[in-house]
Structure 1
Amino acid sequence: MSPEPTVSDWFVSSYSGGNNNNCVEVRFTNHGTEVRDTKNRTAGTLAFGTDRWSAFLRALRG
């Protein structure tokens, strides 16, 4: 039996749009990062592997 993956709590991304409700939540897992819409949390998540998430963050920082 394999251990359960470690999952952090969801948190609001620092790159979200502030007070205009354009927010996403992020959490880290053993397999990478998951992202979901704060206005529709049950609609599903986007999952990114560690390499892809790191590349995304580098692109945001320019």
Structure 2
Amino acid sequence: MTVDLSNADWFKSSRSGGDKNCVEVAFLTDGAVGIRDSKNPAGPALVVDPVAWDSFLASVARA
């Protein structure tokens, strides 16, 4: 599956401290979530469905 991320609105957590070693996230129009490395914004990105994203966040919160 190919997703056009050229107009995605990427953001970092407010807790990132402005460092370039962060994960960036974009909520896409179809409900999917884009995830990329802030050090390489032109590089590859993961795209996951909202259920997978919610599951990931729940796992992180439990850790």
Give yes or no for TM over 0.5: yes
Q: One-letter code of the match for 1:42?
A: A
CA RMSD of aligned residues (A): 2.1
Separation of aligned partners in 2, 1:15 and 1:52: 22
Count, aligned residues: 55
Greater Cα offset, 37-46 or 7-16 = 7-16
> Normalization by structure 1: what TM-score?
0.71
**What is the CA–CA distance in structure 1 between the aligned matches of 2:41 and 2:26, rounded to whole Å?**
13
- Where does the alignment leave 5 or more consecutive residues of structure 1 unmatched? 1-6
SS in 1 for 2:9: coil
1:15 Cα deviation (Å)? Answer: 6.6
In our comparison, the structure showing a higher alpha carbon Rg is 1
Given residue 23 of structure 2, which amino acid in structure 1 is its aligned partner? Answer: V
Look up the equivalent residue of 1:40 and give its one-letter code.
N
Instruction: Give the unaligned 5+ runs of structure 2.
Output: 1-6
Q: What is the aligned partner in structure 1 of residue 4 from structure 2?
A: none
1:51 partner letter? V
Give the structure 1 partner of residue 35 of structure 2. Answer: 35
**41 and 48 in structure 1: CA distance in 2 versus 1, 3 angstrom threshold:** same
Q: Is it true that 1:23 corresponds to 2:22 in the alignment?
A: yes
Cα deviation per residue 1:3-49 (whole Å; 9 max; x = unaligned)?
xxxx6511013575x46542011000114100111111111100110
Q: Please give the alpha-carbon distance, in whole angstroms, between the structure 1 residues aligned to 2:9 and 2:24.
A: 10
